[in-house]
Structure formats: structure tokens, C-alpha cells
Chain A
Amino acid sequence: TQLLEQSPQFLSIQEGENLTVYCNSSSVFSSLQWYRQEPGEGPVLLVTVVTGGEVKKLKRLTFQFGDARKDSSLHITAAQPGDTGLYLCAGHTGFQKLVFGTGTRLLVSP
């Protein structure tokens, strides 16, 4: 079974702080996606990274795919309360299935 470990599991910060979430595996993925999930809802796609070393930016969120395509990071600059949620990384194995990470729960307080 391919595993994706996320760290930290929980993060509670004040509005305006910066943070980084990590997603690590010993397996290689053809691509990696990041989803955000809010309470009572299903996950929603934020971004897909495909090429080793790729960096994508989505407003204050910066996503990076590791050179070896085994890990990824999500950096949020100047976090806002609206960033609160569960962040999930998910790796494509090249077939039909996604392997999801263990999740990072973020709470941003005003």
C-alpha cells in the first residue's frame, strides 16, 4: 500500500502568520493533487502538480512538487480565517486510483 504522510496533523495559528504543510511518501507518483475540505462538505481540488520540481501559485498558496516526485509542500502566506479547513494531498499512481494523505487540519484565528 502506498502511503502519503502529512505533517503537521494539526496547526493552529493567528491571522497573518505563514505556514507550510508537508506531504511525504517513499513512492513515486505520476502527479499529485491538493484538496481542501470544509466541515460538512467533500474535498475540493486546489491544484495539480505534474513535473518534478514544479511550483504553482494560487493567490497566497504556493505548491511545490519534489524533484523525485515523492513529496510535496503547501505554503500559505499571511493566512486568513477563510483558509481554515482540512488540507489533503493525493497522489496519482498512474492508474485509476488516488492515494490520499493523512490530512492536515488548519485553524486560523482572527
Chain B
Amino acid sequence: NAGVTQTPKFQVLKTGQSMTLQCAQDMNHNSMYWYRQDPGMGLRLIYYSASEGTTDKGEVPNGYNVSRLNKREFSLRLESAAPSQTSVYFCASRDWRGQGDNQPQHFGDGTRLSIL
């Protein structure tokens, strides 16, 4: 049981290049999330998908797009990378059971992205 799998683990891009970060979960969770983690700022939500077929903006969505391809997969795309998007990106999934539930989020091991 792999949990949440993110690819690639590391990537270096030049300013203006585009790329897609992939995330897949095998826990049959309905909700999926993308975060970025920067020093001293904890985890900030970029986009999330409450269920298959829906996506919503989080705290820092500018410069990113997402696709919930199916229940398992949720991808994050940078259309024109900027140095300010250098960060560690985490994907998470959760078995959301309704408003007020406290199910944990399960995280992948992250993608370390550097933009020069």
C-alpha cells in the first residue's frame, strides 16, 4: 500500500518553462490537496479537490492550475514558472466524510522544485 505518490521528487526549471507535478493516491480518498512549503511559513494551500470533478482555489493559487483526472489522480501545473515558485510541493489526500469530520490528511514525500 503506497499511500500518496508524487512524481518527480526533484526538478530544476528555467524561468518561463512549464511543468506538471503528478500525484496519485491508492486509499480511495475523495478529497485531494496541493500545498507548498517555504521556510518559516508552514504549509500553504494552493488548490484542493473536494471530490472527483470539483476543484477550488486555496490560499495561494496564482500561477498554478490543477486537474482532478479521476478519483486517484490530482495534478498541479505551472504554466510559466517563476523564481518565486521555488518551493517544496506536497500533495495530500483525505477521506472526507462531511462537514465537521476530523479525518487526517495523508501526505506524499514532496517534490523539490527549483526555478532559476
Contacts and interface: CB of A to CB of B under 8 A. Distances in A.
Interface string B89-116: 0101000100110101111111000000
Contact of A48 (B50, B58, B104, B107): B104
Contacts, number: 58
B102 to A, nearest CB: 5
Interface in A15-42: 30-31, 33, 40-42
B53 interface: no
B90 A102 contact: no
Contacts of B82: none
A33 B43 CA distance: 14
A85 interface: no
Nearest to A45: B104
B102 A33 contact: yes
A94 B100 contact: yes
Secondary structure dominating the interface of B: loop
Interface residues of A, number: 27
A42 B109 contact: yes
Contacts of B45: 97-98
Contact of A97 (B4, B48, B102): B48
Interface residues of B, number: 27
A94 B99 contact: yes
Nearest to B92: A42
Contact of B43 (A30, A43, A45): A43
Counting from the closest, the 9 A-B pairs by CB-CB distance are A42-B107, A45-B104, A100-B43, A100-B42, A102-B42, A48-B102, A31-B102, A103-B42, A96-B50
6 contacts: A42-B4, A42-B92, A48-B102, A88-B42, A96-B48, A103-B42
Interface of B: 4, 31, 35, 40-45, 48, 50, 56, 58-59, 90, 92, 96, 99-100, 102, 104-110
